[in-house]
Amino acid sequence: MTGTPSHARIARVILAALAVTVIAGCAPTAAAPDLEELEPPAAAPAVATLGILGDSVSLGVNACAEQGQCAAASWSGGSDPAVGSIAERLAAASGVEPAVVNAAKDGGDVEDALALVDEVVAARPQLVTVLLGGNDACAPSLEEMTPAADYEAGLTELFGRLNAEVPDATILALSVPNVHHLWEIGRGDARAVQAWNSSPSCKNLLGDADDDSAEATARRDAVAARVDEYNAAIERVCAGAERCIDDGGAVFAYEFSTDEISGIDFFHPSIAGQRAIAEIAWGALEGGAG
């Protein structure tokens, strides 16, 4: 079953995300999103258990006041009302709070998700959210990025296992965020440049963050091109899987503001950024046919 959304659905998802931008841009600590009058999405009308596969973004890393994981801030399974996660929206829509099995891994890539999928399968979820690819693209060097063909093969195996072992589960697959945009909005901030230059994370994109040479530009462009390849793969694999919904590239297209990026590492989403992802994900789920 194809997960590719209609143009109307894409427009609705992006408009919802833009509304979040206005809120977050004006006040990073804005009031919680209004979850009243939500209806259970047709693609996942009764979710008793929510499974999560992904990386540090789905663990809420560095979204809260202290460095490290902050599961309450996860766009998918979090409990912080300021985020309005998928789990919280499902609870508001149905009156039943789903159990959450968060098998995301800090630093995890598609291969790690394959190693952890048994944990999700064992829980027999009705919905599985997948946000993978940031760590496949972010690497110490360009040569260490996951090849696009390997990423697609891994995702195909992952979705195939979910279809075979939890055949009634809907898969919600989000696109890889535009990590190159992250560098663009932070490059003028001395604090961000210092944090990136002193961190071992994502050196192929963020290393020597203030270097504008042709070589550095080509290096960053290569990372951006690989993300484009991953996102094309997500749409292809989701279209070939059963009960799979993708976001039509909406997370990638969303231009995170500085308020929506963590002030701890200038890399992960803040509470406002997590809220933006949750809005986009919910819009995709609402628009999906399941």
pLDDT in tens, 155-191: 999 999 999 999 999 999 999 999 999 999 999 999 9
Q: Give the model's pLDDT for residue 31.
A: 61
Instruction: Give pLDDT, residue 34.
Output: 87
Domain formed by 7-287, architecture: 3-Layer(aba) Sandwich (3.40)
Q: What is the pLDDT of residue 22?
A: 35
CA 121 – CA 167 distance, rounded (Å): 10
DSSP letter, residue 173: E
Check residue 30 and give its pLDDT.
Answer: 52
Q: Would you state the pLDDT for residue 44?
A: 93
Helix/strand/coil (H/E/C) assignment for every residue in 49-81: EEEEEECHHHHCCCCCCCCCCCHHHCCCCCCCC
Q: At residue 270, does pLDDT exceed 80?
A: yes
Q: Is the pLDDT of residue 290 over 70?
A: no
CB 42 within 8 A of CB 289: yes
Q: How far is CA 288 from the centre of its chain?
A: 17
DSSP state for residue 166 in the 8-state scheme: S
Q: Which of 94, 90, 175, 87 is nearest to 131 (CA)?
A: 175
Tell me what pLDDT residue 52 has. Answer: 98
50, amino acid identity? L
Of residues 257 and 289, more confidently modeled: 257
Percent with pLDDT over 90 in the chain:
83
Percent above pLDDT 70 for the chain: 89
**141-152 pLDDT, tens per residue?**
999 999 999 999
108-143 tens-digit pLDDT:
999 999 999 999 999 999 999 999 999 999 999 999
What is the C-alpha to C-alpha distance for residues 26 and 29, in angstroms, rounded to an integer? 9
Tally of CB atoms within 10 A around 181: 15
Residue 3 has a pLDDT of 41
Interval 13-59: pLDDT, tens: 444 444 433 333 333 445 688 898 899 999 999 999 999 999 999 99
Whether residue 210 has pLDDT greater than 80? yes
CA distance 271 to 64: 7
Res 213: pLDDT: 96
pLDDT at 28: 42
- CA distances for 250 relative to 12, 17, 158, 166, 253, angstroms: 10, 9, 22, 26, 5
* Mean local confidence (pLDDT), 2-16: 41
Q: Are 105 and 115 in contact (CB under 8 A)?
A: no
Cα–Cα distance measured from residue 274 to residue 147, given in angstroms and rounded to the nearest whole number = 28
Instruction: Give the H/E segment covering residue 276.
Output: helix 271-287
Distance separating alpha carbons of residues 50 and 87, to the nearest angstrom: 7
SS3 211: coil
